[in-house]
Chains A and B, each alone.
Chain A
Amino acid sequence: MTRNKVFGASIAVLALSLSMTACGSDDSGDDDTNAGGGNLCGKNLAFLGALTGDAGALGQNMVNGINLALKEYNADNADCKINLKTFDSQGSPDKAPALATQIINDDSIVGLVGPGFSGESLATGKTFFESGLPSISPSATNVTITEQGWTTWHRVIGNDDAQGAADAKYLTETVGAKKVFVVDDGQDYSKGLAGKVKDSLGDALVDSDQISVGDTNMSAIVQGVKSSGADAVFYGGYYTEAGLLAKQLRQGGFKGTFMSGDGSEDPNFVKVAGAEGAEGAVLSAPAAPAPADFGASGLYATQAYDATNIFLAAIKDGASDGQEINEFIGSYTGDGVSGPIAFDDKGDIKESAIYAYFVKDGALDVENPEEIK
């Protein structure tokens, strides 16, 4: 731990000096546009994330949130409009780096809402950091991203550690589980979340296993859970495998609680598991439901809206370049629609609430979650 902190701090110092030099050179190039006195009117924000592909729906939710914030801002500031450029990574860490290069080479882009997922964040963080482009992710929750010393990188959502600890607490305290079986699918996000759940469970962890993405035969895990005598199962991963696992557990006679994280918090989970398989499942997410009068729907729309508003506040405040926007974000404090927002030194949100959503009567109830405290 200590060694990591020292390492992290030295990286941060190194990083800061690098970013300053990078910004310094940018400044000289931007002198013409800045002639108006730190005015970023007519510039763009970028969105990088999945708009098509398997997780395209989540990216669309985010863009809806961003567009809502821009629409409101542009209506109030007709003489200083800010627009959005979207970059579709399909959520893939392989596709994102090329798009990141496009983004940093586009002088009209002053800030990034994104990247959407953890894998692409890790793949592009260095590029954005070295160019000095400030970013706020609405949805990337992997813990290690903010441990890289990328001082331009922020997120308005609680990381997997916060969620994992809350999930473990929910299982042992609210559900009263004595033996919890933890399964994950081996991906960055899943391992991080499931790992934190395992650590926080302590003695209540009875056993664990790992599946692969695309697995459809869960019979071995089902038997493992049954012979371990577990009274609850936690799954770290996404809704397809989560649904199949829940379904086959129920058909195999498992009576305990099934819980999973925000990767499974999607109506498709119920479709895959079937109404009977999904009934009673608990799906956590570091996201409150949107307020009733909020004009964009879907998971992460509120976070994307809040992230955009922080950039807009920075622009309105007179920030003239990436470095000034970044400083503004670092000291920002405010109440967004997703909750109170302020960032710590690493770029993580200081306070985040984790909510438990329930599957009731064959449907995911997205309106009445319970906050895990």
Chain B
Amino acid sequence: MDFGNLFGSPENFLSYTMGGLVFGAIYALIALGYTMVYGVLQLINFAHSEVFMYGTFAVAWVFILLHGTGSATWSLGEAVPVLLVALVAACALSAGVALLLERLAYRPLMNKNAPKLIALISAIGASFALAEAMGLRDRFAEVFGLDDNLADYVAPGKARDVYTNPVTIREHDILTIGGYTLSDVDLVIIVAALLMMVALDQFVRRTRFGRGIRAVAQDPESAALMGVNPTRVVQLTFLIGGLMAGAAATLYMMKVGVTRQNAGFILGVKAFTAAVMGGIGNLRGALLGGLILGVMENWGSALFGQNWKDVVAFVLLVLILLVRPSGLLGESLGKARA
């Protein structure tokens, strides 16, 4: 164990911690999708990782559409206009996929009062179907005779290979504390994620729609008797989860810049872990869980080496669940006070 590496200097400590917070913020945004759907339906939407993955592709496609395929490096300032378009596109595609999922993979089962386990299997199946559809997008384009026109977007013959945003965003240092320099991209990711979390939290706590979500989470039948349309509420929940996944995808592509058809899998597992760690069904828990998981991974890397980071993070998860079986802030969505 290498404590000197992690705690040896303020630079090291801040660097490991901030690096973890950046990815933790992204985990947290994805975790929202898991936690909200669970809060309302008591269902783990395993296809949510694919909702995120479609968002990452939307970001790359917008850059190719507006810039072309030539490799380029932009500063964050130069990239902002395109990034905003990409954000809208990613949110739209992710939300669209999430709504489609709800309509095709869940609602038919819910209408038939199928057991929750059936819906869980349906979620896993939908996850595979979505990931493979993205991996076979060149074949779909071929069927419609569009593979030549859309070659840049579907990557014929290489649809399963890594897919890159042609524009790399160059990070600029904006702040130095004790030898550690914070870059503009990192700051934007953390701040944007926090702002979206606060906005969503307020939305659920203060608005009429939010009250509807909480009511259905607490007791769907009573909520229906009180005039809340549960189907609309479930749709709204999937929509919000999709929007947040789209935002997460945009931030992820700013930092990482590459994706592939299975990119959602690992991040999905991490985000689900974050949701459980914070208390599944709890919005603030998702944020806390995401940030803690991200930081723990990096501290684990510093102490034991990078290949131990998941071990550290998951041992921590087990320990937290042993002490607090319902997660750190294990309060359900329905019990959140207005």
Bound Cα distance from A188 to B208, whole angstroms: 56
Q: Are A272 and B161 in contact (CB under 8 A)?
A: no
Q: Are A223 and B16 in contact (CB under 8 A)?
A: yes
Residues of B within 8 A of A195 (CB): none
Bound Cα distance from A276 to B169, whole angstroms: 10
Q: Are B12 and A271 in contact (CB under 8 A)?
A: no
Residues of B within 8 A of A216 (CB): 23, 252, 256, 258
Minimum distance in angstroms from B331 CB to a CB of chain A: 30
Known: A211-B306, A214-B266. A227 touches B258 (CB 8 A): no
Q: Are A210 and B257 in contact (CB under 8 A)?
A: no
Known: A217-B23, A219-B20, A244-B256. A276 touches B161 (CB 8 A): no
Q: Are B71 and A271 in contact (CB under 8 A)?
A: yes
Q: Does B229 contact A (CB under 8 A)?
A: no
Residues of B within 8 A of A214 (CB): 265-266
Produce 1/0 per residue, B136-158, CB < 8 A to A. 00000000000000000000011
Bound Cα distance from A234 to B309, whole angstroms: 21
Residues of A within 8 A of B257 (CB): 247, 272, 274
Bound Cα distance from A277 to B22, whole angstroms: 20
Minimum distance in angstroms from A24 CB to a CB of chain B: 44
Known: A224-B5, A227-B5, A271-B164. A210 touches B301 (CB 8 A): no
Instruction: Tell me which of A54, A219, A243, A247 contacts B19 (CB under 8 A).
Output: A219
Q: Does A6 contact B (CB under 8 A)?
A: no
Residues of B within 8 A of A362 (CB): 71
Q: Does A268 contact B (CB under 8 A)?
A: yes
Instruction: Tell me which of B12, B158, B266, B310 contacts A223 (CB under 8 A).
Output: B12
Residues of B within 8 A of A219 (CB): 15-16, 18-20, 22-23, 298
Find residues 20-79 in chain B having any chain A CB closer than 8 Å to their own CB: 20, 22-23, 71-73
Q: How many residues of A contact B (CB 8 A)?
A: 38
Q: Does A33 contact B (CB under 8 A)?
A: no
Residues of B within 8 A of A56 (CB): 157-158, 160-161
Residues of A within 8 A of B266 (CB): 214
Find residues 156-186 in chain B having any chain A CB closer than 8 Å to their own CB: 157-158, 160-162, 164, 166, 168, 170-171, 181, 183
In the complex, besides A209-B305, A219-B18, A251-B171, 20 extra interface pairs with C-beta distance below 8 angstroms are A53-B160, A54-B160, A56-B161, A57-B157, A57-B158, A57-B161, A209-B307, A210-B305, A217-B23, A217-B294, A219-B15, A220-B19, A227-B9, A244-B258, A247-B168, A251-B183, A270-B71, A271-B162, A271-B164, A274-B257
Pairs A–B under 8 Å by Cβ, sample size 21: A54-B161, A56-B158, A57-B161, A210-B305, A211-B307, A212-B306, A212-B310, A219-B19, A220-B302, A223-B12, A224-B301, A240-B162, A243-B258, A268-B164, A271-B166, A271-B258, A272-B258, A274-B71, A274-B168, A275-B168, A276-B168
Residues of A that sit less than 8 Å from B by CB: 52-54, 56-57, 186, 209-212, 214-217, 219-224, 226-227, 239-240, 243-244, 247, 251, 253, 268, 270-272, 274-277, 362
Query: Nearest 4 CB-CB pairs, A to B?
Result: A219-B19, A274-B168, A220-B301, A210-B307
